[in-house]
Amino acid sequence: MSTTFSIRDKSILVGLYLSKFDDKALTILGFKGFNEAFNTLGYSIGSKPASIKNYRDEFDPFFPNDRKGWHKRAIGEYCKKILDDFSSLGFKTFTELIKSFVIKN
């Protein structure tokens, strides 16, 4: 499943996941805060932690969380495609997708 995703795709998916599920995502993955999540997840997929944060911020205007994210500009075309393709995933399914390329067997 994860072999079809580039590092960029994985980074965007992690950002989308963290934006959509917020604290629930942190809890299920065992993180105490977003900085820890950005660092650990970024390192595990070969991405910069700042990229993970930026992608989360990109998606924040689309979900009911306390962050405004990048609400003053249009979403990038590539991120919009990921949003359209994956935002309907439920918590369990999306968590398994993220774990499939973050946690090695």
Residues 28-70: tens digit of each pLDDT: 999 999 999 999 999 999 999 999 999 999 999 988 777 676 5
pLDDT of residue 96: 95
Is 89 strand, coil or helix?
coil
Tokens (6 digits) for 12? 């965007």
Contact between 82 and 89 under an 8 Å Cβ cutoff? The reply is no
Q: Are the CB atoms for 58 and 66 separated by under 8 Å?
A: no
DSSP H or E run through 68: none
Could you tell me the residue ranges of all domains in the chain? Answer: 2-102
Closest CA to 51 of 59, 43, 60, 42: 42
Per-residue pLDDT band at 1 (split at 50, 70, 90) = very low
Residue 76 pLDDT grade (very low, low, confident, very high; cuts 50, 70, 90):
confident
Global pTM reads: 0.89
